[in-house]
Amino acid sequence: MTDPAAFPVSRLRPSDLLRVGAANLRVRRLRVLLASLGIAIGIATVLAVVGVSSSGQADLLRRLDELGTNLLTVKAGQTLLGKDAKLPAESVAMVGRISSVYAVAATGDLTMGVYRTDRIPADQTRGISVRAAGLTLLTTVQGEVAAGRWFTAATERHPTVVLGDLAAARLGVRAPGGTVWLGGRRFTVLGVLKPVPLAPGIDRAALVGWTAARDLLGFDGHPTTLYERSTPEEVEAVRAVLPRTVNPEHPEEVTVSRPSDALAARAAASGAFTGLLLGLGAVALLVGGVGVANTMVVSVLERRGEIGLRRALGATRGHIRLQFLTESLLLSGLGGLAGLVLGAAVTSGYALAGGFPTVLPFWAVGGGLAATLVIGSLAGLYPAVRAARLSPTVALGAT
Amino acid sequence: MTTPIVCLENVVKTYPGGVCALRGVNLEIHRGELLAVVGPSGSGKSTLLHMMGALDRPTSGRVLLAGHDVAALPDRRLSGLRASLIGFVFQRFHLAAGVPALDNVADGMLYAGVPLRERRERAAAALERVGLGGRVTHRPHELSGGEQQRVAVARAVARRPLVLYADEPTGNLDSVAGAEVLDVLRDLHADGTTIVIITHEQEVAAAAGRQVRVHDGHIVADVPGGGP
């Protein structure tokens, strides 16, 4: 009698399932807004945190790429007795002879201050150092002149000075042409440099031509810091031979560093503090999920009549379960989408304001969406099962 | 004699807690009948509706709907029977708030696998049939009680069920609106729809042809009336 082939079955088309799931959300707009707000905030937080830190990181790495990672800095260091060591005067030429080195320059520290005028007390150096600079310094560290000009073979013999970015700001000098008080005489400001990211010491320095330093300021010609660039593949090899090349007698005194490493470390470290904020976003997501679950539970209680009617119209338990799961998924999905839009807006706003490239890692966007779906199903599971368990007669009898 | 579309054989229904709502009921409903199940509240007529409508299973006895034994079927199959064979009209209308009459009626065919376009076409025709052709886009709160119940009737008949159960269809309506709904049901019956009205009101029952009286879980009388 019950021929399975001819037996009437309930069918709910997938498109209808979506319509049914969305229908209730359309009617209760305020509730939908409030319930999905938590998820939206959570996703937005996570995405903005990841996006902002990725954008910052991308900016650092981009700058690193521009600056190159092949600059090595050699410092004289200290003697075994703890005194400040000096590099041999010929060390610049020695380094220049390493075949893969294509640029080398030196600065030599001078123990004196630079002042705006001769009226400033000598102890108010404002942390500005005075350094003798070789002609090739600017090209080696890839510095740029913000105003005025760099030394030439002619000007480096005269009492002229080129100021680092910070030094100029501290002296109150913004344009070349004026004078500063240095070593008991006036020096004309020849130029002001832009910040030099790979050699921050230069930012705080007043640079004097190598010859002028020797002739006018009693400089002994021993470099304190060497900057050199080699072909990128040879950086490690050059690094190994540098101490012996620079100071054959006391290679142990020499310290070699790679300034780009510090920048790279900063790029890596900028991701570290985001862990805490990510945790915050995760908590917001969790709270949002609880909000969705709560809304769904209330919804099931309120809509017993509707559930009863649907059962009477032929919905199976599975159909009811699917309907409430769909609703929950739509609810959290809506929040998730809003969160993604918000997070992306925050990130691009931040990046635009800072002049950074906007970076939204795919894993963050995909992970955000996946998290929403997981939260939506988890939050909807219990209410959906409860709704499906409701017997049709009880549901119809409920007020 | 044709096979009955609904057949109850010695049906007993006992609820958890020991309440016995039906104590051995035998009933046959044939195609084209207009039948009233009458009884005071607590007599078991609602339980009888649940049995006849495949909303619940009997504790013992057999319920056959178009030849299918309800007691032996899993939920999925029962739902299938309801989706394709049975139409319900409830005392409290059960219309979806904020949804136009057309879609409320169209949703009656949601679980029968009918495509949306066809659902809407058939819904429009059904609304026309209950005299609400001009109320298609109205939402439930814009309709009178009688009109709302007629929308519910349209929803129940749009998918052409084998049998239409109306549970206290006039219970929430004044006498004018109630008479209106009964007129619609009678019209549908005249067109060949099998209709079972469950009611405690004598006047409503009088509108039907056959009257089945229920008391304390028994059928105490089965009066084949002369018809309206």
Q: Which is more confident, B18 or A80? A: B18
Q: The complex's ipTM?
A: 0.93
End-to-end CA distance of chain A: 38
A275: Cβ contacts below 8 Å, ≥ 6 apart: none
Q: Is the pTM higher than 0.80?
A: no
Interface touch A313/B82, C-beta < 8 Å: yes
% of residues, chain A, pLDDT over 90 = 21
Residue B93 lies in a domain: yes
Q: Letter for the amino acid at A366?
A: G
% of residues, chain B, pLDDT over 90 = 69
Report pLDDT for A3. 47
Interface touch B84/A316, C-beta < 8 Å: no
Could you give phi then psi for residue A356, rounded to 5 degrees? Answer: -90, 160
Sign of CA dihedral B120, B123, B125, B131: negative
Pair of tokens at residue A232: 């990128």
Which is nearest to A35 in space by CA: A390, A270, A330? A330
Is pLDDT at B193 greater than 60 in this prediction?
yes
Residue B205 lies in a domain: yes
Whether residue B93 contacts residue B172, with contact meaning beta carbons closer than 8 Å, is answered with: yes
How much is the average pLDDT of B75-101? Answer: 91
The string of pLDDT tens digits covering residues A87-108 is 887 888 878 878 888 888 888 8
The string of pLDDT tens digits covering residues A191-243 is 998 888 888 888 898 888 888 888 888 888 888 888 888 887 778 888 888 78
Q: Tell me how many helices (H) and strands (E) chain B has.
A: 7, 10
Chain A residue at shortest CA distance from B74: A316
> How many CB pairs (< 8 A) connect A and B?
109
Pair of tokens at residue B129: 């049939």
pLDDT band at A2; cut points 50, 70, 90 = very low
Is pLDDT at B121 greater than 90 in this prediction?
yes
Provide the pairing of β-strand A185-193 with A145-148: antiparallel
The count of structural domains within chain B is 1
How much is the average pLDDT of B53-62? Answer: 92
**Contacts A303 to B, Cβ<8 Å:** none
Residue B23 lies in a domain: no
Spatial strand order in the sheet of B194-199: B86-89, B163-167, B194-199, B34-38, B210-215, B218-224
**Contacts B93 to A, Cβ<8 Å:** none
Burial B35-54 (b: 16+ CB within 10 A, else e): bbbbbeeebbbbbbbbbbbb
CA distance A124 to B161: 100
% of residues, chain A, pLDDT over 70 = 95
DSSP bridge pairs for B34: B195
**Given the structure tokens 């123990």, which residue do they identify?**
A111
Chain B residue at shortest CA distance from A389: B75
Is pLDDT at A8 greater than 90 in this prediction?
no
How much is the average pLDDT of A371-380? Answer: 92
Report pLDDT for A4. 47
How much is the average pLDDT of B199-218? Answer: 89
Is pLDDT at A112 greater than 50 in this prediction?
yes
| Smallest Cα distance from A16 to chain B, Å | 7
Could you give phi then psi for residue A248, rounded to 5 degrees? Answer: -55, -30
Pair of tokens at residue B161: 């069920």
Residue B15 lies in a domain: no
Whether residue A52 contacts residue B152, with contact meaning beta carbons closer than 8 Å, is answered with: no
For B212, the enclosing helix (H) or strand (E) is strand B210-215
Chain B residue at shortest CA distance from A392: B55
Q: How many residues does chain B have?
A: 228
CA distance B105 to B128: 11
A293: Cβ contacts below 8 Å, ≥ 6 apart: A328, A378, A379, A380, A382, A383
Alpha-carbon torsion angle B109, B113, B114, B120, nearest 10: 40
When the pLDDT of each residue in chain B is averaged and rounded to a whole number, the result is 90
Report pLDDT for A273. 63
| Smallest Cα distance from B75 to chain A, Å | 7
Report pLDDT for A267. 67
Q: Letter for the amino acid at A204?
A: R
Whether residue B124 contacts residue B137, with contact meaning beta carbons closer than 8 Å, is answered with: no
Alpha-carbon torsion angle B145, A399, B158, B52, nearest 10: -120
How much is the average pLDDT of B50-72? Answer: 91
**Residue of B68, B97, B116 lying closest to A2 (CB–CB):** B68
Burial class (CB in 10 A: 0-12, 13-18, 19+), A36: buried
Most A CBs within 10 Å, among B110, B162, B198, to test the A interface = B110
Is pLDDT at A31 greater than 60 in this prediction?
yes
Whether residue B82 contacts residue B53, with contact meaning beta carbons closer than 8 Å, is answered with: yes
Report pLDDT for A307. 93
**Residue of A1, A7, A312 lying closest to B80 (CB–CB):** A7
Report pLDDT for B227. 46
| SS3 category, B124 | helix
Most B CBs within 10 Å, among A10, A15, A25, to test the B interface = A10
Residue B150 lies in a domain: yes
Which is nearest to B93 in space by CA: B173, B34, B37? B173
Most A CBs within 10 Å, among B5, B7, B82, to test the A interface = B82
Q: Which is more confident, A356 or B79? A: B79
Is pLDDT at B76 greater than 50 in this prediction?
yes
When the pLDDT of each residue in chain A is averaged and rounded to a whole number, the result is 85
Residue B63 lies in a domain: no
A352 vs A286, A346, A349, CA distance in Å? Answer: 31, 10, 5
Pair of tokens at residue A132: 């003798």
Which is nearest to B161 in space by CA: B95, B88, B77? B88
Whether residue A74 contacts residue A228, with contact meaning beta carbons closer than 8 Å, is answered with: yes
Whether residue A375 contacts residue A330, with contact meaning beta carbons closer than 8 Å, is answered with: no
CA distance B73 to B175: 40
Q: How far is CA A276 from the centre of its chain?
A: 15
Is pLDDT at B115 greater than 60 in this prediction?
yes
| SS3 category, A201 | helix
Q: Which domain holds residue B116?
A: 31-57+73-224
In A111-221 the beta strands, taken as DSSP E runs, fall at: 114-115, 129-133, 145-148, 160-163, 179-182, 185-193, 205-209
Report pLDDT for A6. 63
CA distance A156 to A140: 17
**Contacts A2 to B, Cβ<8 Å:** 67-69, 72-73
| Smallest Cα distance from A309 to chain B, Å | 7
**CATH number of the domain where residue B194 is located:** 3.40.50.300
The string of pLDDT tens digits covering residues A147-193 is 888 888 888 888 899 989 888 888 888 788 888 888 888 888 989 98
Which is nearest to B100 in space by CA: A12, A27, A304, A312? A27
Which is nearest to B79 in space by CA: B102, B47, B56, B104? B56
Could you give phi then psi for residue A114, rounded to 5 degrees? Answer: -125, 135
Count Cβ atoms below 10 Å from residue A398 Cβ, excluding itself. Answer: 14
Interface touch A393/B55, C-beta < 8 Å: yes
Most A CBs within 10 Å, among B64, B111, B167, to test the A interface = B111
